[in-house]
Amino acid sequence: MKAYPLAMALSLPLLMQGCASHRPSEEVTAQMARTEVVLQQADRSNVAVNSLPELQKAKDKYAEAKVALEKNSDEGDRRALMLAKQAEVDAQYASARSQSASQEDAAQQVQNGVEALKDEANRNAAGSATPE
């Protein structure tokens, strides 16, 4: 009868050590790092100027992934992996959308310049076409 409590007392530290030594898989660790890099690149390229809601969504998901990872469990790892993947895609989308908006602005500026040149050419042609 005394052996049972003794066995429990001896196995408790082993059980606690097993819980404390949980490490996320390499896939989760790599995905978290990849997502963080994509988010940093988006920040450095001023994505927030043209695509703030999308970028914020990516950052929020990444923050949720960090919280899930802190649970130190397989379930937490699965959730962290899923959220980190979604955050990476959201950040890439925000970057692409921002780049598209910048290109549209540049194209509009070029178009405005072309129109100004046409107007100037028409004025010059009309001025030189007056009879002498």
What is the 3-class SS of 68-87, one letter each residue?
A: HHCCCCHHHHHHHHHHHHHH
Sequence-ordered strand ranges (E) for 10-131: none
Task: Map out the domains of the chain with their CATH numbers.
Answer: 24-121 (1.20.1270)
Nearest to residue 45, comparing CAs of 119, 96, 118? 96
| Triad 13, 17, 20: Cα angle to 5° | 140
**What type of residue is 69?**
L
Q: How confident is the model at residue 108 (pLDDT cuts 50, 70, 90)?
A: confident
| The pLDDT value given to residue 62 | 98
Nearest to residue 87, comparing CAs of 111, 116, 117, 66? 66
d(CA 23, CA 36): 19
What are the pLDDT digits (tens) for 14-57? Answer: 444 455 578 989 999 999 999 999 999 998 888 877 778 899 99
